[in-house]
Amino acid sequence: MIWPYPRVVAHRGAGTLAPENTLGAIRHGASLGFRGVEFDVMLAGDGTPLLIHDETLERTTDGKGAVAHMPYAEIAKFDAGRWLAERWSGERVPLFADAGCLCRELGVWANVEIKPAKGFEAQTGRAVAEMARELWRGADRPPVLSSFAPEALIAAKVAGPELPRGMLVGRVPADWKARMRELDCVAVHCDYRTLTQPLLEEIHASGYAVLVWTVNDPREAKKLLDWGIDCIVTDRLDLIAPHC
Ligand code: G3P
Ligand code: MG
């Protein structure tokens, strides 16, 4: 696959520079020139897709409890910015719908990571794909939907077959070809520390793209880009240029 998306993507909105998975972070990354963003989408207790990484609210909000057991209207009351710095107070846990609209408005491409709470894999994959179809209807560059959960990718394929998918893994498994075929993905998304140049070449030769996360050392970023990596996801928007 020829990767038609940005080669450098901001992790969770704007990496370390803004509270993760918030609209403020997406705006901040875009203001620094990043043309691509990765964020995580989970379902609230009432099935509403929202942006958050953890299954619980404690680390990134001033709320408490399990995301999957609380309706969005409750989650939306919590502050999702102050944990990082006072100047970010007022940020909320955003709706996926609002994040998608913002990306389109800013002209920022999205890698939407389907991040199901345990037990909600298929439901989350389906809900994210259904909403993504609506949000990016008519867009030149649809988002790539990725997930560590195969059930989520399979459900996403059923709900939005035209949306490209990425198989998210730590280390690329030995049977990656069979799994890529089974999940019908266009790209492997792996931990950069487990990737070798020969493996990258082998994956490319099979017609798939490779995205790596989370590359925070500029020397590593340069090495991977020199190898011909399709995309790097970074937390360090202050060290790694968006157009390198
Ligand atoms: O999608 C790449 C990366 O975000 C996967 O790990 O835990 O940061 O969501 P995590
Ligand atoms: Mg992620």
Partners of 144 in beta bridges? 111
28 in ligand 1 pocket by Cβ < 6 Å?
Answer: no
Q: Is the pLDDT of residue 244 over 80?
A: no
Across 39-48, average pLDDT: 98
Q: Ligand 1: which atom is nearest the Cα of residue 11?
A: 4
At 116-141, the pLDDT tens digits run: 999 999 999 999 999 999 999 999 99
Q: Which ligand is nearest to the CA of 144?
A: 1
Q: Is the pLDDT of residue 224 over 90?
A: yes
Active site residue 53: yes
Q: What is the pLDDT of residue 243?
A: 86
Is the pTM value of this prediction over 0.85?
Answer: yes
Per the prediction, the chain carries an average pLDDT of: 98
At 199-221, the pLDDT tens digits run: 999 999 999 999 999 999 999 99
Residue 185: half-sphere exposure toward Cβ, Cα within 13 Å: 31
Of all protein residues, the one whose alpha carbon is nearest to atom 6 of ligand 1 is 213
Give the domains, in start order, of the chain with CATH numbers: 8-234 (3.20.20.190)
What is the distance between the alpha carbons of residues 65 and 62, in angstroms, rounded to a whole number?
10
Q: Is the peptide bond before 214 cis (omega within 30 degrees of 0)?
A: yes
**Whether the Cβ atoms of residue 112 and residue 143 lie closer than 8 Å to each other:** yes
Q: What is the pLDDT of residue 237?
A: 98
Of all protein residues, the one whose alpha carbon is nearest to atom 2 of ligand 1 is 213
Q: Is the pLDDT of residue 160 over 80?
A: yes
CA of 38 to the centre of ligand 2 (A): 6
Residue in the block written with tokens 């996360």: 213
Looking at this protein, which amino acid is placed at residue 127? A
